[in-house]
Structure 1
């Protein structure tokens, strides 16, 4: 994972980015999930309503940012979405919660959003759906050339565990501490197409592997390709989808800024003809498991040395790796401040545990989560956030 030296210094492309955030809807008294998504969506006014979507279950809801090149515009966009949906949830008698898992679980088949696709998934995959309804954060980076997108995926693979640790926000399930910072990652890994992606080299190789998964019945369609980085099946983007839903807007923005800088750094290397780092797939999966278990407060696996290393040291290594791209985009001061704030406060998982520990009462955690989700004081919402055209366009 050391920087390449071949060719001229990299010129970092200016890439668009957009974010999808998945949330839970919970009862304000008990913290238990409630199937209120249809009601909440009806209570969201225009023009934001079209950017708030149903999710897999009726107790989840998803927001979609506009496409941006300016990270602060993304901040305000996400703050506006969270504020509007949280207010709609409260009018429906629920609370909007940013957490990777339901605190009290959802044993058995969850209440699915009515959809022929979800019904087919239930018939084919059976008990794999039990306890699902986990929430993630997906960052889309505008890379329109699919061969380049796949090669960028090859280059960023070693850093996926660090991104997971940064966002770990799901330690509690079924009313108890699971022992994992991200239990969502463990639940999601049950799907046959989930996990860190293999190395592809080309869009042709990627497509051939997807076709084989379709033929095997491991996926119903291309939307079920759940690798933690994938070319979007319906947008000209590379989608990073391995993170838990972040507890705060600031943590989402830190993730998005790092992801864009990582993609820009990788794309510059691709265009210089540098090969991706050699990463053993089994060790990559082990590193991702370690990140899900320990999160930010524990150790990670340094894939360059094969040794356990404090995760914050690996975060520092990532920041150094993408520093030039962050400087060129002007994002370095904001991303650095947000990471410093996260270091001082502790991860989302650590804060959930701190709220849970005194009484072992998930209602205390639910109150914390609802407050964090709604707190957008770091990024006051302007009168209206405008998209930066063209939406989700390829980076130049």
Structure 2
């Protein structure tokens, strides 16, 4: 079923479409004990050890074993990659000085014995409201921001992303381990986050007014503390004039992060082009979208994914190919086509993060070997 867009636009007025859409990436990292692999609550020490300019690009999280780094606004992938790698190496050095190891991995792989929250009032309110859920072990994501300053257009873009985000989720699945074992899930982070009321596929909205009214109702019902607790997989950012895509696990390899950023920007650019052209928005039931995401989190790239355009189960890499074909014009327009083609070929050859972790675990039988490899790849260029 399709519906007409709520805000049709004349393509000839889209002057901003001739400029590259801006990009920014937020990456969350874990700090673990080099020997046991358990999480270490040393984030304050790590952030304080960063150079002042780098410290301003860091964010403290609910868990003291996490550090988030935020890139400046970028327009090209080379600059984005430079910032990402600079962040990872600086935080990795600071972590080593604090007796910890920095790992880009989607979920706590062993244990988190220390779960006291920082003293900020908002974090205390979250613990009071959500109880044990707020004390779950840390999980780490990769959030991609793409510049879409028009509020109504941002909501329509999120509507159009719904059918493709399970594919992005599968490509970036990077958390098969938890409690010292293989969970059977490619993205345990995705499964764990379902305990929060504001996490999941973005609902379809008819307008920005509809979006704002729904968020206000969720806050009024005390399901969320505030607008910032809308953790849907795509949302108009509460901080920047962007669409923020939050579906991905943090990627171990920096080139995987750049790949997902390029694909997300191309998806957003494609959605903007379709909105201006008046292309109908695919309408899929929320329960079907949620099921597709569960399947993507479970299987990653190992078997099938759900094609939300027709509801069929298809080989994962067939859907990745369809995604690439769909966004190919936008990739070409932004100068990203060759990079994305090469990186998708690499991922198909070596696997996503979950596949690589399992391969090492099965080869060595040693979880410490997996975490050492992840740590080395986290800062490798």
TM-score scaled to structure 2, two decimals? 0.94
Conserved in 2, the CA contact under 8 Å of 1:12 and 1:265? Answer: no
Map Cα deviations across residues 254-312 of structure 1 (whole Å, 9 max, x no partner).
Answer: 00000000000001111122221121211111110110000012210111232211111
| 2:238 is the alignment partner of 1:233 | yes
| Separation of aligned partners in 1, 2:360 and 2:279 | 46
Give the CA deviation at 1:58: 0.6
Map Cα deviations across residues 177-203 of structure 1 (whole Å, 9 max, x no partner).
Answer: 110000000011111111001101211
| Separation of aligned partners in 2, 1:59 and 1:348 | 21
| Separation of aligned partners in 2, 1:114 and 1:102 | 22
| 2:115 is the alignment partner of 1:110 | yes
| Separation of aligned partners in 1, 2:309 and 2:125 | 42
Q: Pick from 160, 163, 182: which aligns with 1:158?
A: 163
| Map 1:20-169 → 2, pairs under 5 A | 20-106=26-112, 110-169=115-174
| Separation of aligned partners in 1, 2:159 and 2:315 | 25
Give the CA deviation at 1:14: 2.3
Map Cα deviations across residues 173-226 of structure 1 (whole Å, 9 max, x no partner).
Answer: 001111000000001111111100110121100000000100111100111001
Conserved in 1, the CA contact under 8 Å of 2:11 and 2:273? Answer: no
Task: Give SS of 1:200's match.
Answer: coil
Map Cα deviations across residues 92-127 of structure 1 (whole Å, 9 max, x no partner).
Answer: 1111100011111336x8232221111110011002
| Separation of aligned partners in 2, 1:166 and 1:228 | 15
| Map 1:200-239 → 2, pairs under 5 A | 200-239=205-244
Give the CA deviation at 1:343: 1.2
Give the CA deviation at 1:359: 4.8
Conserved in 2, the CA contact under 8 Å of 1:110 and 1:129? Answer: no
Q: Pick from 176, 180, 186: which aligns with 1:171?
A: 176
| Separation of aligned partners in 2, 1:122 and 1:152 | 33
Q: Pick from 359, 364, 367: which aligns with 1:362?
A: 367
Q: Pick from 371, 375, 378: which aligns with 1:373?
A: 378
Conserved in 2, the CA contact under 8 Å of 1:54 and 1:61? Answer: yes
| Separation of aligned partners in 2, 1:111 and 1:169 | 25
Give 2:287's aligned residue: 282
Conserved in 1, the CA contact under 8 Å of 2:40 and 2:112? Answer: no
| Separation of aligned partners in 1, 2:239 and 2:225 | 16
| Separation of aligned partners in 2, 1:230 and 1:285 | 16
Give 1:346's aligned residue: 351
Task: Give SS of 2:281's match.
Answer: coil
Map Cα deviations across residues 347-381 of structure 1 (whole Å, 9 max, x no partner).
Answer: 100111112224543211110110110111xxxxx
| Separation of aligned partners in 2, 1:146 and 1:244 | 26
Instruction: Give the unaligned 5+ runs of structure 1.
Output: 377-396
| Separation of aligned partners in 1, 2:19 and 2:205 | 22
Task: Give SS of 1:111's match.
Answer: coil
Task: Give SS of 2:67's match.
Answer: strand
| Separation of aligned partners in 1, 2:59 and 2:250 | 15
Conserved in 2, the CA contact under 8 Å of 1:12 and 1:268? Answer: no
Alignment RMSD: 1.9
| Separation of aligned partners in 2, 1:28 and 1:373 | 14
| Separation of aligned partners in 1, 2:66 and 2:174 | 16
| Separation of aligned partners in 1, 2:158 and 2:203 | 9
Conserved in 2, the CA contact under 8 Å of 1:169 and 1:244? Answer: yes
Give the CA deviation at 1:337: 1.1
TM-score scaled to structure 1, two decimals? 0.91
Give 2:265's aligned residue: 260
| Separation of aligned partners in 2, 1:28 and 1:375 | 18
Conserved in 2, the CA contact under 8 Å of 1:228 and 1:240? Answer: yes
